[in-house]
Amino acid sequence: METTTKTSANAAAQSTTNFGLSLFKAEARQNKGSNVLISPASVAVALSMTLNGARSTTLEAMKSTLGFGADETIETINASMEALLTALADPNSGVELTVANAIWAEQSMKFDPAFVERVVASYKARVTAADFADPGTVDAINGWADENTKGKIPTIIKNISPDMVMFLLNAIYFKGKWSTQFDKAASTPGQFKAEDGSDVPATYMNREDDMRFSRGKDYQAVALPFGDSKRVALYVVLPNEGVDINEFIEGIDASVFDKLKSGWETEVNLRLPRFETEYDVDLKESLAALGMEEALNPGADLTGLADASMYISMVKHKTYAKFDEEGGEAAAVTAVGIALECVRMTQQVNVNRPFVAALVDEVSGALLFVGKVATPNK
């Protein structure tokens, strides 16, 4: 049984990694010259919860985009994601790593109980029925994000549009100390060559030690583990001098990380800048480019959620990360918003009887002319 769980967790991790790299590339293409930080695990979990309500070609598109095989069913996906979430909750990891899931549902909508039961069972999601017209619901959702990221992501939504009927949320929080910390006294000021070619000031952490190391034809990489268990590690992948970072990202795949995971320990003189970054994005454009367009537009089949015409109207994603001499802290929240399709009625206005006509200056609001038209002929 243990082997099955491990295999299942690894299968979900592999799908998430492949999906995450594709999503990372899509975001990097749109943000040349800027920092990009996504949490593939957070996005994959939130969308996998949502996938439970997808049907027909919408389901197939979501499965494919998320890196799941055509033979995978909703049940096998839920099982592998549940195994992954269980694995991440390892109490002996030596770091703080928490994953939380939640659903907020508009209280006036009748959602399929089977959908809710599956998501609660596999993802341990907390379900709240709420009045989406009440501003307090926005506060409650943001409060959940704030609480589950230790204040690093205090808001994930600003308002709730009238057509919104559900939010599916995931939050991930990480905090840990390096297995071998950097000596603060050894940190030195220096210059960092930014993507645009300019020199920007940075504080460099320095350590000469045995570290896991790997090298490819156009990069070097080191692994910096956290805690006593060394289960979690920061992988730093540095393209060779003269290699364009965007071209490098386009060519990166999971083998770069696999090679470092099984890399050898050797003496490394590491000079790494302290860094802190945050990212805020709606991932709809990138997800559409990866093949999920059908789910993101009217016409999607989300009838597994409820007997209504709905689609994914937003995939809001916020991240934060900071790494210094002591260790690192990172947080992410993903909010998948489900909206009702608005059926646009064609209003009939047949002006075939007396009416009032007014000429209005809309800047000042002045009523310039007003009259009754009893007959269109003078």
- DSSP line for 161-211: -TTEEEEEEEEEEEEEEBSSPPPGGG-EEEEEE-TTS-EEEEEEEEEEEEE
> What is the model's pLDDT at position 355?
53
| % pLDDT > 70, the chain | 88
Residues 284 and 259: their CA atoms lie apart, in Å, by 32
Tell me the range of 10-14, 49-53, 267-271 where mean pLDDT is highest: 49-53
**Mind listing the pLDDT tens digit for each residue in 331-352?**
999 999 999 986 443 456 676 6
* Mean pLDDT of the 262-289 span: 94
* Mean pLDDT of the 136-159 span: 98
Least confident of 11-25, 62-76, 245-259, 339-353: 339-353
**Mind listing the pLDDT tens digit for each residue in 149-170?**
999 999 999 999 999 999 999 9
> What is the model's pLDDT at position 348?
61
* Mean pLDDT of the 311-327 span: 95
Q: What values do phi and psi take at 302, rounded to 5? A: -115, 35
Q: Is the model's pLDDT at 373 over the cut of 90?
A: no
Between 354 and 134, the more confident residue is: 134
Amino acid occupying residue 143 = G
Terminal Cα distance for the chain, rounded: 90
* Mean pLDDT of the 237-256 span: 91
> What is the model's pLDDT at position 366?
59
CATH 3.30.497.10 domain range(s) in the chain: 2-175+276-340
State the fold for domain 184-275.
Answer: Alpha-1-antitrypsin; domain 1 (2.30.39)
pTM listed for this prediction: 0.89
Residues 113 and 122: their CA atoms lie apart, in Å, by 14
**Mind listing the pLDDT tens digit for each residue in 229-244?**
888 999 999 999 898 9
CATH 2.30.39.10 domain range(s) in the chain: 184-275
Residues 333 and 201: their CA atoms lie apart, in Å, by 30
**Whether the Cβ atoms of residue 179 and residue 156 lie closer than 8 Å to each other:** no
> What is the model's pLDDT at position 5?
38
Between 287 and 348, the more confident residue is: 287
User: Is the CATH code 3.10.20.600 the one for domain 2-175+276-340?
Assistant: no
Q: Is the model's pLDDT at 375 over the cut of 90?
A: no
Q: Is the model's pLDDT at 363 over the cut of 90?
A: no
> What is the model's pLDDT at position 9?
78
> What is the model's pLDDT at position 356?
62
Confidence of residue 249 (pLDDT cuts 50, 70, 90): very high
